Structure 1
Amino acid sequence: MTHLDDYRPADDLSGVPGPPLPVLTDGWHARAVDPDSRDLDVVHRWMQAPHVAAFWHQAWPRDQWEAELRRQRGGRHSLPVLVSKRDDPVIYLEVYRAARDVVAEVYPARAHDLGLHVAVGDLGMTDRGLVRTLLPVLTKALFDADPHCTRVLLEPDVRNRRAIASFRAGGFEPVGEVLLPDKVALLMVRTR
């Protein structure tokens, strides 16, 4: 099990850029969500899906998602990303700077730590090994994109056994449970 005892919290984030867009390999492709394209409809539709809404709690109206995606694209906290395997998007990600996130209140985030929120939008695409196959490629791409990043984290709801199993299979180790505003989460980490 990974331990976080030797990590110091981030103090100064002024020189830390927003999260990078990962350059993926092995047939995967990532692109930042464009709220002025059909990407908005894809994200909105996926967030309405019961298997996503149950854990994301963001089954918002389309205009609220448009505002959220614009906010993320305009800031340095989070980057919304669509991931495709070959041609069509299959996974929605939010790559975020953990030290700028609420998760930093429950663990000692380093300035360049990156976090991930992951959703497979179409129920028919779940249980096909997409996430466990993507995660090693994705974390390598994130470490390559930010040489100062030493760990990537996930914080799934402890009840989301499907996600936890996929994240473990993708190389993330559980650190412990943490209480976040909307859930009890299992903090999971992959180090460089």
Structure 2
Amino acid sequence: MKPVSHLDSYRLQLMADAPPVPDLPMPWDARVARSDGYDLHLVHRWNQAPHVAAFRRQAWTLPQWERRLAELLAGDDVRPVLIGWHGRPVIYTEIYRAARHAVAGCYQARPHDLGLNLAVGELVMTDRGLVRSLLPRLTDALFEADPHCTRIVLEPDVRDARAISSFEAGGFVAADEIMLPGKLALLMVCKR
């Protein structure tokens, strides 16, 4: 039998699993997005919408989104998730391990830090307080799902005032402006 080292629990913390899928309280729900059918078409359409494409810059073709979702689902770094409100999908998010993302080059990411990219798909659903209502519930659920996670980060485009305002209202604090591939972003942090 192998002896147990006092460092074993620390080593476990250094090796973070795939990002969790949050268990959200009603009226919210979350599920992993599929790379085909309804989910694929919905994610593709939402990312084509001008209010999303202007800041996410992922107005890719349907085959590109099919490949992207399939790659994410096959890996352990990012979870593509559809978040529903009263049973209707309203938000696409990618939950990622910050230490395995480009953002890790901009701050001292810990192995269990999580990152979020959020997009409200339908323009008619924006400016209704959905994101500011969701974020405290989402961060609580993610912290509960990963007890080693102490920080969740967002990195919106600095020009996206609507998103930044919603993220602040939802409990995130601006930390610094950072350069990421394709954008100047505002690093925002929510601590446990």
Q: Which has the higher contact order (CA 8 A, sep 6+)?
A: 1
Q: Which moved more, 1:32-41 or 1:167-176?
A: 32-41
Residue by residue, what CA displacement relative to the aligned partner does 1:24-61 show, whole Å, maximum 9, x if unpaired?
Answer: 01310000001133000000000000010001111000
Residue in structure 2 matched with residue 151 of structure 1 by the alignment: 151
Residue in structure 1 matched with residue 88 of structure 2 by the alignment: 88
- In structure 1, what residue type is equivalent to 2:54? A
Residue in structure 2 matched with residue 139 of structure 1 by the alignment: 139
Identity, in percent, stands at 58
- In structure 2, what residue type is equivalent to 1:125? M
Q: Which moved more, 1:113-122 or 1:32-41?
A: 32-41
Residue in structure 2 matched with residue 34 of structure 1 by the alignment: 34
Residue by residue, what CA displacement relative to the aligned partner does 1:125-148 show, whole Å, maximum 9, x if unpaired?
Answer: 000000000000000000000000
Q: How do 1:1-20 residues align onto structure 2 when only pairs under 5 Å count?
A: 15-20=15-20
Instruction: Check conservation: 1:157, 1:184, Cα contact below 8 A.
Output: yes
Whose helix fraction is larger, Structure 1's or Structure 2's? 2
Q: Aligned with 2:18: secondary structure?
A: coil
Q: Does 1:173 align with 2:173?
A: yes
Q: How do 1:120-139 residues align onto structure 2 when only pairs under 5 Å count?
A: 120-139=120-139
Residue by residue, what CA displacement relative to the aligned partner does 1:54-107 show, whole Å, maximum 9, x if unpaired?
Answer: 011110000100000010011111000000001110000000000000000111
Instruction: Check conservation: 2:77, 2:100, Cα contact below 8 A.
Output: yes
Greater gyration radius: 2
Question: Normalization by structure 2: what TM-score?
Answer: 0.92
RMSD: 1.4
Distance 1:12 1:59, change over 3 A: farther
Q: Aligned with 1:110: secondary structure?
A: coil
Residue in structure 1 matched with residue 54 of structure 2 by the alignment: 54
May I ask how many residue pairs the two structures share in their alignment? 182
Question: Normalization by structure 1: what TM-score?
Answer: 0.92
Measured in 2, the distance between the counterparts of 1:51 and 1:185 equals: 17
- In structure 2, what residue type is equivalent to 1:103? V
Measured in 2, the distance between the counterparts of 1:186 and 1:96 equals: 17
Instruction: Check conservation: 1:12, 1:111, Cα contact below 8 A.
Output: no
Measured in 2, the distance between the counterparts of 1:137 and 1:37 equals: 28
Where do 5+ consecutive residues of structure 2 fail to align? 1-10
